[in-house]
Amino acid sequence: MAERDDSDRQERRRERLMEPQDWLSSESEADQHAADAEIEDEGAGESDTDPELPERIIDEAERLTRRIRESPSSDEAEMYLRARRKLLSSYGFTARVRDEGRAVLVLYPNEWVEDGTVQLDRVENVDRGIERPLEGVGEQESWEAIEAHNRALADAVAAEYGSVHGENAHALADFMGNHYLKEIERATAEELTEFCTEYFPRNAWPSEQQQAVVTESVALVFEQADAAVPREFEA
């Protein structure tokens, strides 16, 4: 019985992979071949024990997809689309957005696809496909949970290190919750740089004292979360 249930589950996932694909912008074969050529260089350094598609790459693909969907112009959307394609190609994956009442980002191996269509005979293990909901049921509840989590971190920083670091931590909580719907400790280096160089000076109305210590404030929030600041982060 368990084997039959597993077989049914695999078949349902195959059917969903074959549904019409929303590529958001057409990609020529030349573009795809050029992106695939970068796989060896950009994928270097990953060990054999690493996940096929690391969590940080999935998070970044989701962020770029949200940017694509929210972009006010086709040129801006195309810029993010190319960034996503380059990011995923270095791991041998591609992306589409499936809409079945709510939008879902789907990531799957390039070898499954031919001429923009998933080939069922190439899907040897449906669990290699990755899905991330972009909207729909549970989004408000998720925001509330993330908001509470990030505020608790900011309050802890304020209590231990004072109001200057506390205000910076709360600004970071605003940024991560409202712009990325993520816990602070899941922020990428790119997101933290965006916060420090773009969002913070324009939206937080910081004092000179706050501006002088914002990078340290970010580190203190990660410390409260018992997490490491991304190594690539440079404010």
For residue 118, give the H/E element and its range: strand 117-118
Is residue 115 assigned to a domain? yes
Altogether, the residues listed in the chain come to a count of 235
Provide the domain count of the chain: 2
Check whether residue 82 and residue 145 sit in a common domain: no
Is residue 76 assigned to a domain? yes
Check whether residue 170 and residue 78 sit in a common domain: no
For residue range 180-190, list pLDDT tens digits in order: 888 999 999 99
For residue range 111-154, list pLDDT tens digits in order: 877 766 666 766 776 667 788 877 654 555 577 788 899 999 99
Domain boundary pick from 133, 163, 185? 133
Is residue 231 assigned to a domain? no
Check whether residue 14 and residue 117 sit in a common domain: yes
What distance in Å separates the CA atoms of residue 147 and residue 141, rounded to the nearest whole number? 10
Domain boundary pick from 90, 116, 133? 133
Neighbouring residues of 79: CB distance < 8 A, sequence distance ≥ 6 = none
R_g of the chain, CA atoms, integer Å: 20
Is residue 230 assigned to a domain? no
Check whether residue 119 and residue 143 sit in a common domain: no
For residue range 195-212, list pLDDT tens digits in order: 999 989 988 889 999 999
Check whether residue 114 and residue 208 sit in a common domain: no
Check whether residue 183 and residue 208 sit in a common domain: yes
The residue segments making up the domain with residue 164 are 139-224
